[in-house]
Amino acid sequence: MNTFLEINLEKLQKNIRNLKSLLKPETKFLAVIKSNAYGHGLVECARAANIAGANWFGVVYLEEAMELRCAGILKPILILKMVASADARQAANQEISIPIVSLAHAHEISETNFDKVLKVHLKVETGLNRFGLQICEISEAAKLLKTNRNIKIEGLYSHFASVEENDLAHAKIQITNFKKAIKVLESTGTKNFLKHMAATSATLLLPESHFNMVRCGIGIYGLWPSVENKEKYCSSPRGENFLQPVLKYQTYLSQIKTVEVGEKIGYGCTYEAKSKMTIGIIPVGYYEGLDRGLSNCGEVLISGTKCPIIGRVCMNLSIIDLSSLEGQSFCSFKDCPSPEVMIIGKSGDQEITADDIAQKIGSINYEVVTRIPACIERKYI
């Protein structure tokens, strides 16, 4: 009830078109919409990205890929997390591509019977040291996979470790390693395969990493991968508005009350009223994605004014100091309309961004938006 996300799909499409403008015409664009499209809504964002010219979609679970197929998304989909052989059969039947992340995985998949051709992308380790084949294992993995006539090696990919920190020296070492991996795979007789390494950061800053496909996630939602990336890129003529945030998160005041001087507020009595004050309760807590780390330090926007979060953020409620709105009349939402409470977004001349929240809780904007649960209504404009 009056707690919802507003998702601007026109801005999402503009972000995609801007990112695509950095690519050569023949370079494909994979829109990463895993984890409920970073909290923005899987199917609706996929449909908008499809219209904006995304060639591929990236997800992390087979269930996400199946949801897209059921919604009529017919373009290629790549699952970015390891897929077991039982699920790989279903992926093949739905023309969903999967990664091969180790020699053991290559063995397992190569020994699986498929009714349809399974397309695979070899994930190669180049300097992140997460999952992935070593370069010296690519040849053996490819030979194993080619023993199964219903497996096609469709791509080779890797992932950068530190472009978000503008550490381009390490990124260039990884590019060199990736080029070695390409040659190894080509030496097995594999040809015309997709080569992809760049996420949003590298798409912005490293044209030499684009190869013939890029994978953009956070940028399509109008969020910068890091402050460092934003500062570096926004010094270019394209400017700060190259990426525009897609999401707003708002709620309402469900109760307004007065507390007297000296009264304690919230669990643990972590806040004490220094004077008589008006407080408001909002029906959003850490279950709804308002991080507990915002206790006694976060803010929301009401009528264009920043109002502090006081006391501890509860599971489903938070307490707001309304003192800065002195002079305005308030009443219970049962008696009259409550002013909107903006958690992420603009109100008047003020704005609270996912980056502002991330800075307060010692995290990143990815986490702030992705952790907003799917049960919160999303309104698409």
Model pTM?
0.94
Convert the pLDDT of each residue in 254-292 to its tens digit. 999 999 999 999 999 999 999 999 999 999 999 999 999
Convert the pLDDT of each residue in 192-217 to its tens digit. 999 999 999 999 999 999 999 999 99
Q: Which of 151, 141, 142, 211 is nearest to 175 (CA)?
A: 211
Convert the pLDDT of each residue in 80-106 to its tens digit. 999 999 999 999 999 999 999 999 999
Domains of the chain: 9-238 (3.20.20.10), 247-380 (2.40.37.10)
What does the alpha-carbon distance between residue 172 and residue 17 come to, in Å, rounded to a whole number? 26
SS3 state at 193: coil
Residue 237 or 185, more confident: 185
pLDDT given for residue 343 in this prediction:
98
SS3 state at 21: coil
- Token reading at 107: 């063995």
Give the residue numbers annotated as catalytic, written as ranges. 34, 267
